[in-house]
Amino acid sequence: MISRVRIARAGYDSLMAFEVERLAKPFAAGLVVVVIVIGAVLFFKRGIEPTGSILKVRTQALDEASSIAVVDFRIENTSETGLVIRDVSVTLEAKDGKKYPGASVSEVDAQTLFKFYPVLGQKFNDTLRVRDKIAPHEKMDRMIAARFEVPEAKLTDRARLTVRVEDVDGPAVDIREK
């Protein structure tokens, strides 16, 4: 009885060794294909580096302690992949080095803002909004209006404004005022 169990066990072990040996090559080939695909995706995604420049900045006092900045800027998607906007923000850097985040204004509120403050001039560009798409190699002019809890004098006498545009896949561009 013991010899039959040993013979059966030996046959089973050799069958398993044969199956493992038979499946090792296809498994290794599949693993190599997966690694190549992941590497290709990462390689092509790394080229997403949007660029941009600030074209014009207009400021307006809202009251003695707060003001608004309307920033017209140009953004270009230099990659082979389209961008989908996840977030747009504006930061004020004062001459003393302190940074103030701006509260972004919606497109509807921006239209109202231009109506009530004609000193801002004409609204040249649409607001860059969340979920807007920028096609590969597309260049577009957009604007963002942001409220800052600082007097207009401090906003006007600034070191710089920075518009940060983030893509849903992670890449971001900081468009700095010169």
What does R_g of the chain's alpha carbons equal in angstroms? 29
- Dump pLDDT digits (tens) for 37-96: 776 666 665 555 788 999 999 999 999 999 999 999 999 998 888 889 999 999 999 999
Neighbouring residues of 70: CB distance < 8 A, sequence distance ≥ 6: 57, 58, 59, 60, 110, 113, 120, 143, 144, 145
Round to whole Å and give the CA distance between 116 and 110: 10
Question: Domain residues of the chain, as ranges?
Answer: 1-46, 51-176
Range with the lowest mean pLDDT among 15-29, 80-94, 143-157? 15-29
pTM of the model: 0.72
What pLDDT score was predicted for residue 98?
95
Average pLDDT over residues 29-33: 73
Residue 175 region, left (φ>0) first, then alpha (ψ -120 to 50), else beta?
beta
Instruction: Give the residue carrying structure tokens 């509260």.
Output: 103
* CATH for 51-176 (2.60.40, 2.40.420, 1.20.58, 1.10.12): 2.60.40
Q: How far is CA 45 from CA 17, 39, 78, 104, 171, in A?
A: 42, 10, 12, 28, 9
Label residue 169 by pLDDT band (50, 70, 90).
Answer: confident
